[in-house]
Amino acid sequence: MMGIFSFLTYKPVLIGLHLGFAIVGIDAFLWYLGELVGKSQNHTRIRWASIIGVAGFALSWLFGGYYYVVNYGKLVKPVIFKGTAPWAHAVAMEAKEHIFLFIIPLAVTALILAFMDKEEFNKNNLRRATMVLVGLIAFLGLAIGAMGFIISAAARWG
Amino acid sequence: MNKTKLAYSSSIAAILAIITIMVVTIWGELSPPFKAWLAGFTGHHWLSKSVLSLIVYFVGLAVFYLLPKNIGPNTVRRGLIFLIVTTLAGSLAVFLFFVWHYLV
């Protein structure tokens, strides 16, 4: 048990899990978006896409949050501040860590919409608004990923 | 369970959670004592904001679901549009605030 915990909290593993689960979340919401765009009648598939999306983002939050709270502040942040791009922390990291907190409430809302009865969903004319919401979740995930790349690049190459 | 009302309640609860995160984040950067107070709850200000966002969202979801509310044919759609606008505005506000904070 202790061995598994040590492995999961090993810094490169944490970063890999944070990024990997975020990609799962983004891809699942793009899948959900594709089902809506294609006017899919397969509600089981839409529901699975939303469940995988929420689970992906929640796990990304958990692993990324652990890395951020335990390691980032004492190991990465000082390196970025000593380099030529301190804005990578001051702007990109600060925006990333806070905008990330918007994702779970948005993703759970999209999940609830996926579980609405088909007739109720159509009667309330929700397809377009849900498409925009689901696309926005995927876009925010990608934008947060781009900020993660900036932060990582600033720490590695100054 | 009334899933239509749940979808409406989730939209409003998510709006409240996003506004709370935005306000607490900006207020924390402008007021170091407030940021320290936030950090005092869990040991880290970001962890406190994470917990706060979940509390606001899930308590909001329960409260708006239980409150009497007539859900018309456009109520949920309007809630979603308001949520989308709040998300875009909140993301932009947080990003631009940190750009401004870095430059001044």
Mean pLDDT of A128-142: 98
The pLDDT tens digits of the residues spanning A23-47 come to: 999 999 999 999 999 999 899 999 9
pLDDT tens for B24-67 read 999 999 999 999 999 999 999 999 999 999 999 999 999 999 99
Cβ pairs A/B, distance under 8 A: 107
Place of tokens 């709270």: A69
Residue B38, chain A, CB below 8 Å: the answer is no
Gyration radius from chain A CA atoms: 18
> Between chains, do A120 and B83 touch, taking CB under 8 Å as contact?
no
The sign one gets for the Cα dihedral A129, A130, A133, A136 is negative
Averaged pLDDT of chain B: 96
Yes or no, beta carbons of A102 and B18 under 8 Å apart: yes
CB within 8 Å: B83 and A124: no
In chain A, domain spans? 4-157
Q: Does B12 touch chain A (CB under 8 A)?
A: no
Distance from CA of A46 to the nearest CA of B (A): 16
Quick check: B6 contacting A, CB < 8 Å?
A: yes
- Helix, strand, coil % (nearest 5) of chain B? 85, 0, 15
Interior/surface letters A31-42, b for 16+ CB within 10 angstroms, e for the rest: bbbebbeeeeee
Task: Work out the minimum CA distance from A126 to partner chain B, whole angstroms.
Answer: 6
- pLDDT-derived band at A1 (thresholds 50, 70, 90) equals low
Which residue is closest to B87 within chain A, CA to CA? A102
CA-nearest residue to B8 within chain A is: A109
Q: Tell me, what's the ipTM?
A: 0.96
Q: Which of A69, A91, A116 sits opposite B46 (nearest CB)?
A: A69
Chain B residues touching A129 at Cβ < 8 A? 77, 80-81, 84
CA atoms within 13 Å, Cβ hemisphere of A6:
3
A124 interaction partners in chain B (CB closer than 8 Å): 4, 73-77
Is the CB of residue B49 less than 8 Å from the CB of residue B26? Answer: no
Give me the half-sphere count of Cα atoms (radius 13 Å) on the Cβ side of residue A37: 10
Give pLDDT tens digits for A83-100.
Answer: 999 999 999 999 999 999
Separation in Å, CA B26 to CA A4, A7, A26, A95, B104: 38, 36, 27, 11, 15
pTM, two decimals, is: 0.95
Q: Which residues of A touch B44 (CB under 8 A)?
A: 69
Query: pLDDT > 90: what percent of chain A?
Result: 89
